[in-house]
Amino acid sequence: MRRQRSERSKFVSNKFIKGIIISFSTLLVLYLGISIYFTSHFYFGTALNGINITGKTAEEADKLLASRIESYSLQLEERGDTQEQINASDLGLKYTSDGKVQELKDNQNAFLWIFAPFINNNNEISGIISYDDAMLNKKIDQLDCVKGKNIVEPKNASLKYTESGYEIVDEVYGNKINKTALHDALVDAIQNNKTELNLDSSNVYENPKYTANSKEVLDAKDLADKYVSSKIDYTFGDNKSVELNGSTIHNWLEVNGNFELIFNESKVKNYVYSLGDKYNTTGITRDFKNSSGATIKVSGGDYGWHIDGSAETQDLIETIKNGQTVTKEPKYSQKAASHSSNDIGNTYVEVDLAKQHLWFYKNGSLVVEGNVVTGNAASADTITPPGVYLLKYKEKDTHLKGTDYNTPVSYWMPFNNNIGIHDAWWRPPTDFVATTYLGNGSHGCVNAPVELAKTIFENIEAGTPVVCY
């Protein structure tokens, strides 16, 4: 009984071993057979330049690739739901293997086919597909998306001023093509046998640099809102004032290429100069009540209020940048005694050119008066010009120099360039009469007796008005 069981067990074991050997042999034959197949064919799952060449021989792959190139077409998906097509004939496409496909096949290890599903068999070979670059560029120039009549330029987001502040205007993407980017995208599509190319996702459009959500745009809006919140109340005396606010300020704000908010200083300066045109009093025609009691018109000269355009422009810009609400006077390069209609005030020198007489008033009181000799009326080059002037300075013991003279004086008080009041010690008392200036006048200065010049000099200060009429 035991012997029968032993023999049966041995039989089963032998049969199992035989089964394993047969199965292994079968699998080996199958493996070797498939390996032999892949000595001349590409692995399953093999692609070349985007074309499936699974199970193809090198020759078959060459023919497939060549036929695909000959019938190649590429559809362009453009903005605005429009399409255009480029064909192989538009590009001069050619397939030239030069043995590269066979070389790829020869590099494939036939006995490793079993691992093919686990490796990447997407192959790229450059140079087997060629195109005519001149034809490609010509085709690009012919595309509607490049030369069409409905090309819309991209436009950055912008700022729009309203009564309640600034609003952001959305950017415009438009549909303008970057030809260089399109060229590169087309070359990539051709080389990889792509049949569709979405121009938007290929980034070939010229897009706006700044959108409504760009930090630069949001920052510029905040800054612009701050600037136009400024309120400046300019005062000019006698209850005269000018209010400046955002309705004017926004016209001076600009955005540069980096979306930085800047002031157009030229526009700001023009505004400041417009204030000067209205409120400067230098050279204007004034009503002047003279010492004889008559009210006369006096024009010309350099006395009066004069806004310093450059200084006030910079000060105004800084005020706006700080978002301030202020009441202020503009910066002046020159000031008068007051902002009233009589801006000369009650301290001044009065020179009557017809009477050849001078009066000097200080704080409304007459300090001194006397006859003088003014510019020689016989020549237009030597007359004393009428007008209201500003005494520039005073200087003691100096020399007056000209082309034909060099004269020492004790008291020099210039008010109109090289024209001034000074002592004329060389003139006798008989010269100081109303007719001397008609033929024996000065070079333009106001000649005064020594004591008259001395008294004026000792009581006058720079900036005092000098009225000549």
Cα 127 from Cα 245, distance rounded (Å): 68
**Kind and range of the H or E run holding 409:** strand 405-416
Q: What is the DSSP letter of 59?
A: H
In the chain, the largest separation of any two C-alpha atoms, in whole Å, equals 179
Q: What is the dihedral of CA 203, 205, 211, 217, to 10 degrees?
A: 100
Pairing of strands 405-416, 395-402: antiparallel
Chain centroid, CA 85 distance in Å:
41
Q: What is the rounded CA–CA span in Å between residue 188 and residue 124?
A: 12
Q: Which residue is associated with the tokens 């799952």?
A: 45
Find the angle CA(362)-CA(364)-CA(365) to the nearest 5 degrees: 70
The residues carrying an active-site annotation are 422, 445
Tell me how crowded residue 377 is: count the other CB atoms within 10 A of its CB: 17
Exposure string over 105-137, b if 16+ CB within 10 A, otherwise e: beebebeebeebeeeebebebeebbebeeeebe
CA 241 remoteness from chain centre:
33
The whole-angstrom separation of Cα 63 and Cα 48 is: 13
- Give CA torsion, residues 268, 273, 276, 278, to 10 deg: -90
Tokens of 416: 């109109």
- Say how far apart CA 347 and CA 176 lie, in whole Å: 72
The two structure tokens encoding residue 71: 């019938």
Per DSSP, the residues of 275-294 read: HHHHH--TT--EEEE-TTS-
Q: Could you tell me if 339 and 454 are in contact, meaning their C-beta atoms sit under 8 angstroms apart?
A: no
Tell how strand 286-289 and strand 295-298 pair up: antiparallel
Compute the chain's Rg from CA coordinates.
50
Contact 261, 253 (CB under 8 A): yes
Residue 438 CB-density burial (10 A; 0-12 exposed, 13-18 middle, 19+ buried): exposed
Tokens 């070979």 correspond to 125
